[in-house]
Amino acid sequence: MSQQALKGHLDMLVLAVLADGPKHGYAVIDALRDRSDEAFDLPEGTVYPALHRLERAGLLRSEWSEVQGRRRRTYHLTDAGTTGLATRAAEWQRFVASVGDVIGRSGPWPASA
Amino acid sequence: MSQQALKGHLDMLVLAVLADGPKHGYAVIDALRDRSDEAFDLPEGTVYPALHRLERAGLLRSEWSEVQGRRRRTYHLTDAGTTGLATRAAEWQRFVASVGDVIGRSGPWPASA
DNA sequence: CTCTATGCATAGATTCACTAGGTATGAGTC
DNA sequence: GACTCATACCTAGTGAATCTATGCATAGAG
């Protein structure tokens, strides 16, 4: 996968896995890898700053906890995060449709699942 | 549309419009706008550097001509450009499928055309 | 003559994922 | 006990690539 393919779409992916339920950072990374069948195996240096950015933007909130001697910061979507995800997902689908128009796709995408 | 959505995908789009036939830079911009129904209305400062980059990479070649007193640089795909487009289009579809897996798409995309 | 569209170009700003490092705990191995 | 690995957090700096802003030049319309 191209190194820049994610640009501008990472926030949506993070919001999407958190829409399933609160998770701490490391679990977000695992969820992205599992759900994408290894396609999105993101380094911590990518995901942690994204989480901080989304919290600063008000789309996430977090609480600290301690589980078996390890500090965890668990993130959950705010209301703004929920609507933000919906907005980004809609934009994504328009983007995909536009790219399809340009590259000349005719039929529906092959199902992956 | 997000400002960064194109990151890493612009090359594919440029190659796609040139796969339809040789075009000069300004015409590439027009083709992208027309084919995407205005969604991709890209500034010259985006497209010209992309064309130069693709030519340096050997995916495009260009010739100068003069039409009605205006200098034109017309680009066409090389063989590497044709295969490069196929590669990028395949990667794009895998990327779209992976994003779909993460954000929980179930059915096929709604047809846009 | 001015303004717009056409047609090319580049320099600098900006965004954002990634690389590379750092800290710390728990569990398993030798 | 020492070592290694997985878990779990963090940030500074790099790099790639699009966008903003600007410049030059010609043709045509008003």
Asked, for residue B40, whether it belongs to a domain, the answer is yes
A91–B1 C-beta distance less than 8 A = yes
Of A57, A66, A60, A49, whose CA–CA distance to A6 is shortest? A49
Asked, for residue B113, whether it belongs to a domain, the answer is no
Q: Which residue is nearest to nucleotide C21 (CA to C1')?
A: A45
Look over chain A and give the mean of its residue pLDDT values, rounded to a whole number: 90
B103–A92 C-beta distance less than 8 A = yes
For nucleic chain C, give residues with Cβ below 7 angstroms from it: A 3-4, 6-11, 42-46, 49-50, 53, 68-70; B 2-4, 24-27, 44-45, 48-49, 51-52, 67, 70-74
Query: Could you say which of A36, A92, A101 has the minimum Cβ distance to residue B35?
Result: A101
Asked, for residue B66, whether it belongs to a domain, the answer is yes
The domain tally of chain A equals: 1
How many whole angstroms separate alpha carbon A91 and alpha carbon A80?
A: 16
pLDDT tens readout for residues A1-34? 777 899 999 999 999 999 999 999 999 999 999 9
Asked, for residue B61, whether it belongs to a domain, the answer is yes
| pLDDT the model gives residue A105 | 63
pLDDT at B109 over 70: no
A13–B39 C-beta distance less than 8 A = no
Q: For residue B50, what is the domain's CATH number?
A: 1.10.10.10
How many whole angstroms separate alpha carbon A43 and alpha carbon B1?
A: 26
Q: Chain B window 3-22: which residues touch A at a Cβ cutoff of 8 Å?
A: 3-9, 12-13, 16-17
Show the tokens assigned to B89.
């289009």
A32–B101 C-beta distance less than 8 A = no
Show the tokens assigned to B45.
């400062």
How many whole angstroms separate alpha carbon B97 and alpha carbon B91?
A: 10
Query: ∠ CA(A63), CA(A65), CA(A70), 5° rounding?
Result: 135
| pLDDT the model gives residue A78 | 97
How many whole angstroms separate alpha carbon B6 and alpha carbon A87?
A: 17
pLDDT at B110 over 80: no
Asked, for residue B97, whether it belongs to a domain, the answer is no
- In chain A, DSSP finds a helix count (H) and a strand count (E) of 4, 3
Asked, for residue A1, whether it belongs to a domain, the answer is no
Of B42, B48, B45, whose CA–CA distance to B72 is shortest? B48
Asked, for residue B62, whether it belongs to a domain, the answer is yes
pLDDT tens readout for residues A56-112? 999 999 999 998 888 999 999 999 999 999 999 999 999 999 999 999 864 444 443
| pLDDT the model gives residue B68 | 86
Asked, for residue B98, whether it belongs to a domain, the answer is no
Q: A19, A26 in Cβ contact below 8 A?
A: no
Residue A23 beta carbon within 7 A of nucleic strand D: no
Q: A17, B102 in Cβ contact below 8 A?
A: yes
How many whole angstroms separate alpha carbon A74 and alpha carbon A22?
A: 6
| pLDDT the model gives residue B112 | 38
Q: How many CB atoms lie within 10 A of CB B64?
A: 9
pLDDT tens readout for residues B19-63? 999 999 999 999 999 999 999 999 999 999 999 999 999 999 999
Which residues span the domain enclosing B17?
A: 10-92
